[in-house]
Structure 1
Amino acid sequence: MENANISSTVTSTTSREEERQVEEETTRKRPDWTLLPPDLIIKISEELSIPNRVCFRATCKTWYNAVLPIAVPSPWLLIPDDESEQSHSCTFLSLPAAHFFTYSPIPELRGTRCIGSHAGWLAISNTQLDVSLLNPLTMSRIHLPSFITLPTDDLILEIDVFWMDDELIDVSAYNPPKVFRDRFIDKLVFSSKPTIHNHIAVTLYGTYGDLAYTKAGKDEWLLLGAASTKDHYYEDVMFHDDKFYCLTNESQVQAFDLSADCPTVAIVVQSLKHNIRASIINLTYKKCLACSRTGELFMFLRRINQPVLPLIIELRDPKDFMVLRANPETNLCWAATNDLGSMSLFVGANNSILISNEDLPILQGDCIFFIDTYTAVSSNDIEQLTCKVRWFDLKEERRDIYYASSSSQLDLASVIWFTPSLK
């Protein structure tokens, strides 16, 4: 028995020695790409697309020093192309540089739709309701539980009702999971720097705006808070400072901490007082939540309809846009403002972004970039969905169109703001 153990030890040691020799031999044969002449490195980089060039420059110190920085500052506007979900590329528009470029191929994008973006990552879902997070620069991918596991009892009923009420939909293309994704998944936000073993995601979905969450190690989506109703529901959600900030239809902000086994919640901004002005805001405006680096919260209000109020109440026409701000550390109440603190706000299906105007020298004043999507009939009587990215100067109350696109498809993908990252 002792001889057998000695023989086994010798064999094991010999195997390890052989493996080490093979590895050393392979390393000696492997070319040292850091020794490439700088002129050749530059020549290679010039043949790459802008996102690929960013990754190329980050490969090693030698390449980093050889290749000039890419002058394509963020945020980038992610633009769906004509092939829609059949494409495996991303078309971007850099706002500060006013420069279009395409990043491809990204096989993971084919057959998917982007439903969120945060800190250099995209949230994507296919028509089978599979969900994942993707960093298009590093190609890192994290699979999340399928939307099929969302806590809802009437998913198919909601889809059927929507389908039967819409005369413009081609019945032959009936695909309940796809309809649910396109019509009932509002957005998906997630924690910064996600990894396979450390990530948390929250989605806003359903007819009335429910919230569900998942995290590393979970194989399903779990309801976050009580189920929504037509009188109480969520309108927006964002991630900041390790918490998920959720905005209700009554303008209350709840901060959910999902780091522990059981979620905890705290009210960080109170609902608007129940008066005429609060009723107008709650009923008339679409709401969006954003947070600055200092912790101040901003609520962007965009008018969508005129509320039904008693005829005896005479009201001035409400503004098309409003901004309220609150500092949870000093005051739990909203206050109207026309000052974003020399920042600009980028609103979309992404995690809302506030960027200092010092980093965006082309902008003057506090601007808000937001998405308008509406249906229009063309000269050929073909109904098209038009998506316009507009900007609004909060102080000067000026507005204009930044980008517009149209599609005959009724499921034109949401426009998303993207901030690239190699992390």
Structure 2
Amino acid sequence: MAGSLSVARSPDWSMLPPELLQTIARKLPDISDFVKFRAVCTTWRSVSDPPPQLPWFLEVKGGGYLLENFTGNLRFYSLFSGKIHTIPSPKSSGNWVRGPAHDYIALYNAKSCRISLLNPLTGRKVVIPFLDIDMPHPVWVGPDPIKSGEPVVLSGKSADFETGFLALYQPVQREWVVIEEPCLCSLGCCYFNGMLYVNEEVTETGDTKVIDTVTQKVVHVVPPPPEDDYECDAIMSVMYLLHSGGDILQVVLHYNDLLEADCHFHIHRLDLQSGNGGKPCWVKISSIGDQILFLDRDNGFSLSCRDFSGFRGNFIYFIKRHRDVDVRSLSLLCRYDIEEARAEPLNCPFVKGGTWIVPSLR
């Protein structure tokens, strides 16, 4: 009709093709944005797989790993967005957080002595069968271990504190395999491809044992690397063992807790093949390539920068103990440039410490 006005119709966003929705979803590296994306409509909700996620930093209160006076919320800091995410999580109340455990939080209830894995985003909680072990600490927990059948590896102490234990829970068989270690504690250890790598840092030797988890036998004993001259005024040190890009690394942080950014890392790669005269040894390295390390105060894991746009490899994100002018013990979240041998504090609001978790909807 002459003179009539045509009204522009809004596009029907629910009719976007699936391949385009997948492309859009891959551009959302913060999982909170992905959740909002899936909430648009039923069609968009069909996109079930988020892109690889950078870890969030979980706040722990009370200056340690205890969530005893927990009010029902967990707080996370996102490296990518710089945002704080608060997630209701009543299932965490009254537990000790034992992390990092990839996309789960490993919880320990001191009253019931029960160990459980919790995904704080989905609320999924998996209670692991009872094990008589004091204050267990995760050595390795892979993504969705119950579904994948990969073992959950813990370290801990016996009831009399005379002996250390390494324990593997096998989800398929629903049973524990316990390996006794002649040391008080085995925090310096990691798991990869059926082998446990245990650092005897509390003994005089400082050797690293390589243990076959099937036979429970020690297949290699590797002497510690030569001591290096510290490149900072270090008065404290922390040693980590972790798997990174197919290698086993020994990463040692030397730092001064009175100076904010004064610290240095020494990194060695385990060579089980050639070594010195055919014997396994640690080889000092100056680069970890495209890998990024995420360390808490006891343990850590490695991710590839190729999965994250805008992030470079050869960096370490770590927690550094620091005392301020009032001699309060604070935890600084820092980033270390391995190539430049330089650390810088990051703008993280959590000063009482924490651990890492990879946000997941599994």
Q: TM-score, normalised on structure 1? A: 0.59
C-alpha distance in structure 1 between counterparts of 2:183 and 2:47, whole Å? 55
Structure-2 change in CA distance of 1:359 and 1:197 (3 Å): closer
Counterpart check, 1:289 vs 2:241: yes
Structure-2 change in CA distance of 1:357 and 1:227 (3 Å): same
C-alpha distance in structure 1 between counterparts of 2:338 and 2:162, whole Å? 30
C-alpha distance in structure 2 between counterparts of 1:278 and 1:145, whole Å? 44
Other structure's SS at 1:320 match: strand
Counterpart check, 1:395 vs 2:334: no
Q: Residue by residue, what CA displacement relative to the aligned partner does 1:47-69 show, whole Å, maximum 9, x if unpaired? A: xx9559649949x98343579x9
Counterpart check, 1:420 vs 2:324: no
Structure number with higher strand proportion: 2
Structure-2 change in CA distance of 1:115 and 1:56 (3 Å): farther
CA apart distance, 1:197? 11
- Which residue number in structure 2 is paired with residue 26 of structure 1? none
Select the residue among 107, 121, 124 that pairs with 2:107: 124
CA apart distance, 1:96? 2.8
C-alpha distance in structure 1 between counterparts of 2:33 and 2:89, whole Å? 11
- Which residue number in structure 2 is paired with residue 110 of structure 1? 93
> Runs of 4+ in structure 1 displaced over 6 angstroms?
69-72
Structure number with higher helix proportion: 1
- Which residue number in structure 1 is paired with residue 164 of structure 2? 210
Counterpart check, 1:341 vs 2:292: no
- Checking the alignment, whether the CA contact within 8 Å between 1:81 and 1:87 is kept in structure 2 is no
- Checking the alignment, whether the CA contact within 8 Å between 1:87 and 1:109 is kept in structure 2 is no
C-alpha distance in structure 2 between counterparts of 1:287 and 1:193, whole Å? 27
- Checking the alignment, whether the CA contact within 8 Å between 1:239 and 1:351 is kept in structure 2 is no
Counterpart check, 1:80 vs 2:24: no
- Checking the alignment, whether the CA contact within 8 Å between 1:119 and 1:421 is kept in structure 2 is no
Matches within 5 A, 1:15-414: 38=14, 54=35, 57=38, 62-64=43-45, 73-80=53-60, 84-85=67-68, 86-103=70-87, 105-128=88-111, 129-145=113-129, 149-150=132-133, 181=135, 187-195=138-146, 198=149, 200-206=151-157, 210-215=164-169, 216=171, 223-228=178-183, 234-249=186-201, 250=205, 252-258=207-213, 260=214, 263-267=216-220, 270-272=222-224, 277=227, 285-293=237-245, 295-303=246-254, 320-331=264-275, 332-348=280-296, 352-364=300-312, 366-374=314-322, 378=326, 384-403=328-347
C-alpha distance in structure 1 between counterparts of 2:228 and 2:98, whole Å? 31
Q: Residue by residue, what CA displacement relative to the aligned partner does 1:188-244 show, whole Å, maximum 9, x if unpaired? A: 53355322895633333357882331425678x775233216xxx634122333443
C-alpha distance in structure 2 between counterparts of 1:54 and 1:192, whole Å? 19
Q: Which runs of 5+ in 1 are unaligned?
A: 1-36, 40-48, 153-180, 306-318
- Checking the alignment, whether the CA contact within 8 Å between 1:202 and 1:212 is kept in structure 2 is yes
Other structure's SS at 2:272 match: coil
- Checking the alignment, whether the CA contact within 8 Å between 1:235 and 1:287 is kept in structure 2 is no
What is the percent sequence identity of the aligned residues?
A: 20
Q: Residue by residue, what CA displacement relative to the aligned partner does 1:1-31 show, whole Å, maximum 9, x if unpaired? A: xxxxxxxxxxxxxxxxxxxxxxxxxxxxxxx
CA apart distance, 1:351? 5.6
C-alpha distance in structure 1 between counterparts of 2:83 and 2:163, whole Å? 36
Q: Which runs of 5+ in 2 are unaligned?
A: 1-12, 16-29, 257-262
* Alignment root-mean-square deviation, CA: 4.3
C-alpha distance in structure 2 between counterparts of 1:97 and 1:399, whole Å? 21
Task: Give, as a single letter, the amino acid of the residue that structure 1 aligns with 2:145.
Answer: P
- Checking the alignment, whether the CA contact within 8 Å between 1:350 and 1:418 is kept in structure 2 is no
Q: Indicate the larger mover: 357-366 or 92-101.
A: 357-366
Count of matched residue pairs: 311
Q: TM-score, normalised on structure 2? A: 0.68
